[in-house]
Amino acid sequence: MNVHELQTFFSSHSLLVLGFAGVTVALIVNELSRFTRGYRSINPARLTELINRDNALVIDVSASGDFEKGHVVGSRSVVMSQFDPENKDLAKVREMPVAVVCRNGTTSAGAAGRLVKAGFKQVYWLDGGVAAWQSSDLPLARGRAG
């Protein structure tokens, strides 16, 4: 394909080319943001390692009803409306690994970002949330305790 054919294609399919360029830019921005957001995405196996080896604090920001239906064993429930990274109890664990989870991984990403902004050094986000944990056949605790 020569330059003239490319120019003809671009002029004939300008919306397609613009759409492709937009998607490409969005993907690049998304990938670059992963490196600058300050927290790391982890899978259920890596979260298990963090809990077992590094005694990571797991904070579940799911709604109370979702937390009661099933949560990572040992996780602490803090509904998002009450989530405060500046809380004096959280200040004690600022240097420890902290993993944030929620039902599907959407809400917890925002909470992880807030922890980073508050100065936490080792912040992790469970990609896919409790749903990913459950689909990995890992145990869930039920009820209010946590």
Q: What is the pLDDT of residues 31-72, one digit of tens each?
A: 666 566 679 999 999 999 999 999 999 999 999 999 999 999
Q: pLDDT tens, 40-51? A: 999 999 999 999
Q: How far apart are CA 126 and CA 112, in angstroms?
A: 10
With bands split at pLDDT 50, 70 and 90, how would you rate the model's confidence at 122? very high
Q: Looking at the predicted structure, is the pLDDT value of residue 146 above 60?
A: no
The pLDDT > 70 percentage for the chain reads: 92
User: Phi, psi (5° rounding) for residue 26?
Assistant: -60, -40
Q: For the chain, what are the domain ranges?
A: 3-35, 39-141
The answer to whether the Cα torsion of 122, 125, 130, 135 is positive or negative is: negative
Which CATH number is 39-141's, of 3.40.250.10, 3.40.50.2300, 1.10.3720.10, 3.10.290.10?
3.40.250.10
pTM flag (> 0.95) = no
Q: How far apart are CA 133 and CA 127, in angstroms?
A: 9
Q: How far apart are CA 52 and CA 56, in angstroms?
A: 8
8-state DSSP, 51: H
